[in-house]
Amino acid sequence: MITKDSAIRRPECAKNCIKDSRVWSKMFRKLSTKKKTRRASQRTWKAMNCETLAKRNEQALVADKLPRFRHKFKSFIDQYEMREIQFHSLLRTKELEVQYEKARSEQQRKAQEQEASKARQLTSQVSTFSQTESELRSQLNIYVEKFKQVRKFLVRWTHIYCNPQCLYIYLAFY
């Protein structure tokens, strides 16, 4: 059904429809850009929320891990200190061993010097004794010779006095 009004309105309606379509397209664009911006902002908001949640989760994990980390760090520091103590005690042990060896070598050197001086003293005594022995042997030989002479004289004398004939013969020669 076409009426006059509708026929007259048609061009107007067409104009209005075109305007309306332009308006609608602008509005649609605005809405779509708003939707896009809204979506983008929602995405950004979600991303921020995710980041915030991730940070919170990370902080919670860090808060959970912090006592464990402190414990591990403290045990690491304790181990380091124990190693330092062990190292210092090892150094002290080595220093004491060196001091002990030095003292022992010094003691051995002194004992060796004492033995050397004792050996020199004994060597001098031996040489003195051997010299004295040779002197005494020579004196002994001299006394033995004198004893032999005296004995020979006594044997002759006894022989002469014990035997009167020998006495007269002996006296005859003197």
Q: Which residue has the tokens 């026929």?
A: 7
What predicted TM-score, i.e. pTM, was given to this entire model?
A: 0.40
| CB-count exposure of residue 160 (10 Å: 0-12, 13-18, 19+) | middle
Percent of the residues in the chain that have a pLDDT greater than 70, as a whole number:
56
CB 161 within 8 A of CB 167: yes
CA–CA separation, 58 and 47 (whole Å): 15
Residue pLDDT, tens place only, 83-123: 999 999 999 999 999 999 999 999 999 999 999 999 999 99
Name 160's Cβ contacts closer than 8 Å, sequence gap at least 6. Answer: 166, 167, 170
Q: Which residue has the tokens 């048609």?
A: 10
Q: How far is CA 139 from the centre of its chain?
A: 74
CB 166 within 8 A of CB 160: yes
Q: Which residue has the tokens 């070598």?
A: 105
> What is the SS3 assignment for 2?
coil
CB 154 within 8 A of CB 146: no
CA angle 138, 141, 146 (to 5 degrees): 130
115 or 44, higher pLDDT: 115
Name 119's Cβ contacts closer than 8 Å, sequence gap at least 6. Answer: none
Residue type, 111: A
- Residue 3 is predicted with a pLDDT of 52
CA–CA separation, 60 and 63 (whole Å): 5
